[in-house]
Structure 1
Amino acid sequence: MTDQTASPLPPLRSRVTAPERVDLPDARGDVTWRPMVREDAVAVHALRRASGRIDHPAYIVTLEEIERDLERSEIDLVRDAALAQDAQGEIVAYGSVVLLSSQSTLVRSVLDGAVHPARRREGIGEQLLAWQEQRALQQLATSEKTLPGWILSFADERAEGALALFSKRGFEFKRWWLELSRDLAEPLPVVPLDDAVRVVPVTDEWSERIREARNDVFRDHWGSQPIPADTWADLMGLPIARPDLSWLAVDRATDEIVAFVLTTVNEEEWEQVGFSHGYVEYVGVRRTFRGRGIAQALLVHALGVYRERGLDRAVLDVDSESPTGAVGLYEHLGFRAVNRSVSLVREF
């Protein structure tokens, strides 16, 4: 959780020194830069696939996710998204800078990007990150909020080049996340469900209540902010979202959602990683129901359905310093750490 209670802060704009103008990087060799347009989504997806095989081989960003990102209301493609192309018009790098609209306790400008593996060690990544950082400073400097401001990015620990670039520019390796995996061929433990709740499959009519429950559960988690309704609808509408593999625990007396397990399945990843799997996107329990084994019971139920559907493994990511003791919960259920990623932050 981010601590904003220690002392009042002045407006963010007074704590950030930003350039008046941010131009795209200069041309270098056969590489030139231009703003991104929505029609670039397919080419960006191909670049993400090529770079991801090295930088984050365990997951693949889908074309639909890239299309959604380029259409979100928070991004001005002319100012916030750029790509580099060679003399033949092939995209060799891309980057985006998005000032997230959800700002309950934190103002975040998020950086995303990649350089094609064949064009690394040419200074393209340095150009890209320098541009992104300057644009992020501009974004933060527009805020009157008296909240902490972050320039934020993420990287797999295997992305050594990216980690070196962020470190060189003064980003802190602020929070480590564990990728956990569980072999579904191994026996599942028996975890009785609390008699006060019932298990309900996820359907459309629950969607808004799930969002509200998610926002409540994760408000004490590091860096987390509420998910707005439009963003939630976009996420739930992605092809990888799997309500048929997602479950709720509902209070029998009030019909309140007290816990949830939400799943995504990206079959593009299966060949690359060598096994089929469901990804546990969210697990959460409301505070008043914690300590009663509800999360364990609901997750075991979900894992059993995964296995019935023929999936080989379950995968999830968890904050290595989770305030709810989630790492121990998952390990008790047979999950094992297989990789790490890190949140990279400049704070203001």
Structure 2
Amino acid sequence: MTQPTGTSVHPNSDLPDGWASRPAVSSDVASMTALRRKYEEQIRGWASASEAQIAVAVDDSGRVRREHLVIFDAAGQLRGWCEAHDRAPGRVVILIVVDPDLTAETAEVVGDVLVQFARGMAVAMATDNDVAKTQLDVDVYSADKRQTRWLTLAGLRCVRTWWHMSRPVRPDESASDRPPRDGVQIRAVGRGEDGMPDVGDLRSIHGVLEEAFSDHFNSHEETFEAFVSRLREDPNHHWDHWWIAEINDGAAPRPAGALVGSVIPGPDPAEDTPAAGTYIEYIGVLRSARGHGVATSLIDTVIADAAQRDRKEVALEVDADSPTGAQGLYESLGFVTKYTTESWQLYLDSAV
């Protein structure tokens, strides 16, 4: 995990002697991935980050703006990095990775430099977006007490806890034994002969999710174009993991719910190994359709699809304080919490 040749670093007076920082470049991706996986293994117990995911994030050719800072020690070894993601006007999502082998004292110095970078980028992005105030939003593993200490010292506060849940998938679940309730139907998005999805279906899913999450914690409006572009950039995204729930009560079927999934890579993302599971990125039900078993039918559908693909698990994330009590539904369907993360936030004024 050493500094690539041909790149320049900039000394930072806040770092130990000989250490330096600079913006990340594509040749850093392998080292950034290795450090992220090392961090995940020590904090969570297993690694999932892939070079493909981090390469997309570092590449600046997409619609989604992300900025990165990397920190090297005196020997040129990567010791920490930060991503600032311009997630929505008025919200910047931050990822901080620090080498878990560093001493507590050195790790705190590196963490502070990365937090200050995140603050500066949040203000810059808010200014560019012409908004007066922005939210700095850091997602951190609950078990990472070092990082939560740095965030506390920087003025951030823990505002939410998230349960990361999963359930095993059995081969005999390839066909659900619980059909949707009368009047409810689940279908995959329409696809053309070229394999591309029906735009009308995508707009229906976007509309359902925007309305379904409008009463949820930290909901920010996102345009259809930004929503689709952001998901398409994920290397684990596939159009055949999008489903629509419709209610047919005598008139034409109308959208009632939606589920967007992605692939959980195999144990070694660097190898072409079969997918390990399916991840539920989004599941939402319109308030007017709640109480009709729509969410249950959507989850049954994705479990059956995972079984048909010979996958071993289905996973998702849920707000521990969900206003819909979704965690109770997931537990009733066999999901258990594997680990938790926390949202740490701070509001900053821009230069507008």
Q: 1:197 to 1:47 in 2, by over 3 A?
A: same
What is the percentage of aligned positions where both structures have the same residue?
Answer: 22
Whether 2:111 is the aligned partner of 1:125: answer yes
- In 2, the alpha carbon distance for the partners of 1:139 and 1:313 equals 37
Query: For residue 119 of structure 2, what is the amino acid of its counterpart?
Result: E
Indicate the SS of the match to 2:315.
strand
Whether 2:214 is the aligned partner of 1:219: answer yes
**What root-mean-square deviation, in Å, do the aligned CA atoms of Structure 1 and Structure 2 show?**
2.9
Most deviating of 53-62 and 193-202: 53-62
TM-score, normalised via structure 1 length? 0.79
Contact 1:182 1:314 in 2 (8 A): yes
Contact 2:82 2:97 in 1 (8 A): yes
* Partner residue, 2:54: 66
Shift in Å at residue 197 of structure 1? 3.0
Query: For residue 68 of structure 1, what is the amino acid of its counterpart?
Result: V
Q: Which has the higher strand share?
A: 2
Contact 1:54 1:159 in 2 (8 A): no
- In 2, the alpha carbon distance for the partners of 1:256 and 1:307 equals 28
* Partner residue, 1:9: none
* Partner residue, 1:195: 182
TM-score, normalised via structure 2 length? 0.78
- In 2, the alpha carbon distance for the partners of 1:163 and 1:58 equals 20
Shift in Å at residue 332 of structure 1? 1.7
Indicate the SS of the match to 1:265.
strand
Q: 1:279 to 1:269 in 2, by over 3 A?
A: farther
Indicate the SS of the match to 1:113.
strand
Most deviating of 326-335 and 206-215: 206-215
- In 2, the alpha carbon distance for the partners of 1:73 and 1:24 equals 31
Alignment of 1:120-269 (within 5 A): 120-121=103-104, 122=106, 123-140=109-126, 145=131, 149-185=134-170, 190-202=177-189, 203=191, 204-205=197-198, 206-228=201-223, 229-252=225-248, 253-269=251-267
Shift in Å at residue 315 of structure 1? 1.4
Shift in Å at residue 312 of structure 1? 2.2
* Partner residue, 1:94: 81
Most deviating of 86-95 and 334-343: 86-95
Shift in Å at residue 165 of structure 1? 1.4
Whether 2:336 is the aligned partner of 1:340: answer no
Most deviating of 43-52 and 167-176: 43-52
Shift in Å at residue 120 of structure 1? 4.6
Most deviating of 311-320 and 41-50: 41-50
Query: For residue 227 of structure 1, what is the amino acid of its counterpart?
Result: E
1:279-315 CA distances to partner (integer Å, 9 max, x unpaired)? 1111111121111111112211221222232222221
* Partner residue, 1:49: 37
Contact 2:171 2:310 in 1 (8 A): no
Contact 2:172 2:307 in 1 (8 A): no
Structure 2 runs not aligned, ≥5 long:
1-9, 192-196, 270-274
Q: 1:99 to 1:184 in 2, by over 3 A?
A: closer
Query: For residue 110 of structure 2, what is the amino acid of its counterpart?
Result: I
- In 1, the alpha carbon distance for the partners of 2:53 and 2:338 equals 25
Indicate the SS of the match to 1:221.
coil
* Partner residue, 1:8: none
Indicate the SS of the match to 2:97.
strand
